[in-house]
Amino acid sequence: MRRSTKILLGLVGLLVAIQLVPVSRTNPPVESEPPAPPEVAALLRRACFDCHSHRTVWAVPQAYVAPFSWLVAHDVSEARDAMNMSRWGAIGPEMLGKLSIDIPKEVERQKEMPPGVYLLAHPEARLTDAERTAIATWARGLGRTAPASP
Expressed as residue numbers, the domain containing 110 is 3-145
State pLDDT tens for residues 102-122: 999 999 988 999 999 899 989
Which pTM value belongs to this model? 0.83
Q: How many domains, in total, are found in the chain? A: 1
Question: Dihedrals φ, ψ of 45, to 5°?
Answer: -60, -45
Residue 111 within any structural domain of the chain: yes
Cα–chain-centroid distance for residue 34? Answer: 15
In a domain, 150, yes or no: no
Domain presence at residue 131: yes
Compute φ and ψ for 15, nearest 5 degrees.
Answer: -60, -40
Model pLDDT for residues 32-68, shown as the tens digit of each residue: 999 999 999 999 999 999 999 999 999 888 888 888 8
Query: Cα(147)–Cα(83) distance, rounded to whole angstroms?
Result: 18
Count CB neighbours of 85 within 10 A.
Answer: 23
Is residue 10 in a domain? yes
Kindly state whether residue 68 falls inside one of the protein's structural domains.
yes
Of 135, 145, 84, which Cα lies nearest the Cα of 109? 135
7-36: per-residue pLDDT in tens? Answer: 888 888 888 887 878 888 889 999 999 999
In a domain, 37, yes or no: yes
pLDDT of residue 101: 95
